[in-house]
């Protein structure tokens, strides 16, 4: 049977474009459908604009620090959302064009419309055109998920933040994950009176305990009004703003509300059930380690599979898929050691490998936990402390996890992730000579464990 394409990709985000471009580079005939802008969540309404907003929001701190370094007149002045937004739009247009060009330059064809499956080898575009392909890859990502409360349509989701006409005077952020912590930090830095309501007792559930404590404390220290153990139950329109009722009976008025209550796979209306593609409980596409679904011609990568929902993971899954199918180089991704960073300010929190609680479950563990005031901010009079934590398996001496709370922790963890991925031992870290004076040198100078965990026979430490 002959097909229109060797591969048809649904979704022009990080994972889909990487798979499509690499496959086309191997000589495959590749088509791709994208209903919105090329680049997807990360480039258009996620990591990229978010990180640029983090940079923008750090200007007042930089000015304050400059004063402490002998520049008495340094001031950030007034933030102009309009000026920033116009530059941001130009940058996103550039990136979107680069994504499209990169694929088209290797012979790929882009259909700027929604597509859905109509068979194991066939998709239908929104204009009714049907296209056949030997292989179909679904890379449609995820969508913000609302909490299901009355009036929630009055709130924003993270996508909307990048489209704001002005910075809200008083804003409520709901949630305690990556997005809530980062956006509370950004909005606070850009001048919004920011309230963060989270139902738990400290943010970032699932991360290392000590890092969670430090991020929670830092949010309060930078001026975010933290309301822990609190959940909104109803939103009501109130003039230009929104009145929010909470589960403790209180209510409060905000100019804007942003929900950061998680994301779910964007599988609705894709024709998956009709074609018989197996879905998991959250609507995610179930795949094996080769990203193949139960229908042999259909594959899926990225957040739509709900494995590790991070851009570089989607990219690596897409690349591995292309290498396997068209590059004669079968390979798949090991999802067990993926580093990530939460871009809070002034300190970021970044991790790779096991949390302390997870390491304890596994066996005898040494914990190296260094806390110190870094030279730069200490000179400026700040009490802010950095945390560097290494978790070491006492028997194999391997470093099982690394957690950093400090300036540029995202940059540091990327480098720490290399030896840890290679299986480095604590002694490998120790024989590495320090770079002085840096924050990162602590990573190779932690001589004595701060604590040890023994696993008792009942499994408790
Ligand atoms: P997360 O799943 O990380 O966090 C969702 C938060 O919302 C949790 O704190 C959760 O509470 C809370 N929540 C969920 N449902 C409700 C509800 N009904 N009422 C009140 N609170 C609720 O999702 P995010 O939206 O923060 O991020 C989505 C994904 O985006 C992440 O998985 C991450 O992979 C990715 N991302 C990565 C970034 C990075 O790498 N820097 C940055 C931003 C996003 P609880 O903890 O109690 O369940």
Higher pLDDT, 66 or 457: 66
- Edge to edge, the sheet with strand 225-228 lists 225-228, 193-198, 170-174, 256-259
Mean pLDDT of 285-298: 98
Mean pLDDT of 30-57: 97
Return mean pLDDT, the chain.
97
Query: Which ligand 1 atom minimizes the distance to the CA of 309?
Result: 34
pLDDT, one tens digit per residue, over 303-332 is 999 999 999 999 999 999 999 999 999 999
CATH superfamily of 5-144+264-326: FAD/NAD(P)-binding domain (3.50.50.60)
Percent of the chain with pLDDT over 70: 99
What is the whole-number distance in angstroms between the Cα of residue 17 and the centre of ligand 1? 25
Provide the 3-class DSSP secondary structure of residue 388: strand
The finding on whether 260 has its CB within 6 A of some atom of ligand 1 is: yes
Domain ranges of the chain: 5-144+264-326, 152-201+214-261, 347-453
**Can you give the pLDDT at residue 62?**
96
Residues 6+ apart with CB under 8 A from 127: 113
Query: Which ligand 1 atom minimizes the distance to the CA of 176?
Result: 9
Q: For residues 180 and 186, is the Cβ–Cβ distance under 8 A?
A: no
Distant-in-sequence contacts of 212-219, Cβ < 8 A, 24+ apart = 214/347, 214/349, 214/385, 214/387, 214/405, 215/181, 215/342, 215/344, 215/349, 215/405, 218/344, 218/346, 218/347, 218/384, 219/181, 219/184, 219/185, 219/344
**Can you give the pLDDT at residue 458?**
55
pLDDT interval class at 460 (50, 70, 90): low
pLDDT, one tens digit per residue, over 408-418 is 999 999 999 99
- Region of 270 (left: φ > 0; alpha: ψ -120 to 50; beta: rest) is alpha
The finding on whether 180 has its CB within 6 A of some atom of ligand 1 is: yes
CATH superfamily of 152-201+214-261: FAD/NAD(P)-binding domain (3.50.50.60)
In the predicted structure, residue 461 carries a pLDDT above the cut 80: no
CATH architecture of the region 347-453: 2-Layer Sandwich (3.30)
What is the whole-number distance in angstroms between the Cα of residue 263 and the centre of ligand 1? 7
The finding on whether 343 has its CB within 6 A of some atom of ligand 1 is: yes
Mean pLDDT of 73-80: 95
Under DSSP, the state recorded for 315 is: H
pLDDT interval class at 455 (50, 70, 90): confident
Catalytic residue numbers read 436
pLDDT interval class at 45 (50, 70, 90): very high
In the predicted structure, residue 252 carries a pLDDT above the cut 80: yes
What is the whole-number distance in angstroms between the Cα of residue 175 and the centre of ligand 1? 6
Select from 314, 282, 290 the least CA-distant residue to 301: 314
What is the whole-number distance in angstroms between the Cα of residue 303 and the centre of ligand 1? 13
Which of 261, 264, 414 maximizes ligand 1 atoms within 8 Å of its Cβ, making it the mutation to test the pocket? 261
What is the whole-number distance in angstroms between the Cα of residue 165 and the centre of ligand 1? 25
Q: Is 376 exposed, middle or buried (0-12, 13-18, 19+ CB in 10 A)?
A: middle
| Beta strands, E only, 169-309 | 170-174, 193-198, 225-228, 232-238, 241-246, 251-254, 256-259, 263-265, 298-300
pLDDT, one tens digit per residue, over 80-133 is 999 999 999 999 999 999 999 999 999 999 999 999 999 999 999 999 999 999
Mean pLDDT of 425-449: 97
The finding on whether 178 has its CB within 6 A of some atom of ligand 1 is: yes
- Edge to edge, the sheet with strand 451-453 lists 340-342, 348-353, 399-406, 386-393, 365-372, 451-453
Which of 177, 183, 315 maximizes ligand 1 atoms within 8 Å of its Cβ, making it the mutation to test the pocket? 177
Same fold, 152-201+214-261 and 347-453: no
pTM, entire model: 0.96
User: Among 277-286, 339-348, 447-456, where is mean pLDDT lowest?
Assistant: 447-456
pLDDT, one tens digit per residue, over 366-380 is 999 999 999 999 999
In the predicted structure, residue 235 carries a pLDDT above the cut 90: yes
């Amino acid at each position: 049977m002959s097909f229109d394409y060797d591969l048809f990709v649904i979704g022009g985000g990080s994972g889909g474009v990487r798979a499509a471009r690499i496959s086309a580079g191997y000589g495959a005939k590749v088509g791709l459908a994208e209903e919105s802008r090329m680049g997807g969540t990360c480039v258009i309404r996620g990591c990229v604009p978010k990180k640029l907003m983090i940079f923008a929001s750090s200007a007042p701190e930089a000015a304050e620090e400059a004063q402490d370094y002998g520049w008495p007149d340094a001031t950030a002045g007034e933030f102009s959302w309009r000026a920033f937004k116009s530059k941001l739009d130009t940058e996103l247009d550039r990136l979107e064009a680069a994504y499209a060009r990169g694929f088209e330059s290797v012979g790929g064809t882009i259909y700027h419309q929604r597509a859905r499956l109509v068979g194991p080898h066939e998709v239908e575009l929104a204009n009714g055109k049907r296209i056949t392909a030997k292989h179909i890859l679904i890379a449609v990502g995820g969508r913000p998920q609302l909490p299901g409360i009355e009036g929630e349509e009055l709130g924003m989701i993270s996508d909307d933040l990048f489209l704001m006409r002005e910075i809200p005077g008083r804003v409520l952020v709901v949630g305690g994950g990556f997005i809530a912590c980062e956006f509370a930090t950004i909005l606070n830095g850009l001048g919004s009176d920011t309230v963060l309501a989270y139902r738990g007792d400290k943010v970032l559930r699932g991360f290392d305990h000590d890092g969670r404590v430090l991020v929670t404390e830092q949010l309060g220290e930078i001026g975010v009004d933290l309301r822990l153990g609190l959940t909104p139950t109803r939103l009501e329109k109130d003039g230009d703003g929104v009145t929010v009722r909470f589960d403790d009976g209180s209510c409060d008025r905000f100019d804007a509300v942003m929900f950061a209550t998680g994301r779910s796979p964007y599988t609705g209306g894709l024709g998956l059930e009709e074609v018989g593609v197996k879905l998991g409980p959250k609507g995610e596409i179930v795949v094996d380690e080769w990203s193949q679904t139960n229908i042999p011609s259909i594959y899926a990568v990225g957040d739509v599979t709900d494995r590790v929902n991070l851009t570089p993971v989607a990219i690596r899954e897409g690349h591995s898929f292309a290498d396997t199918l068209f590059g004669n180089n079968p390979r798949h991704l090991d999802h067990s050691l993926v580093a990530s960073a939460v871009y809070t300010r002034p300190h970021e929190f970044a991790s790779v490998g096991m949390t302390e609680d997870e390491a304890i479950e596994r066996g005898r563990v040494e914990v190296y936990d260094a806390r110190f005031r870094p030279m730069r901010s200490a000179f400026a009079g700040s009490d802010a402390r950095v945390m560097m934590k290494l978790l070491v398996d006492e028997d194999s001496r391997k470093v099982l996890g690394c957690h950093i709370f400090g300036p540029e922790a995202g940059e540091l963890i990327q480098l720490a992730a290399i030896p840890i991925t290679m299986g480095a031992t604590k002694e490998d870290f120790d024989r590495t000579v320090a770079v002085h004076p840096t924050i990162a040198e602590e990573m190779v100078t932690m001589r004595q464990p701060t604590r040890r965990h023994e696993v008792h026979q009942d499994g408790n430490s």
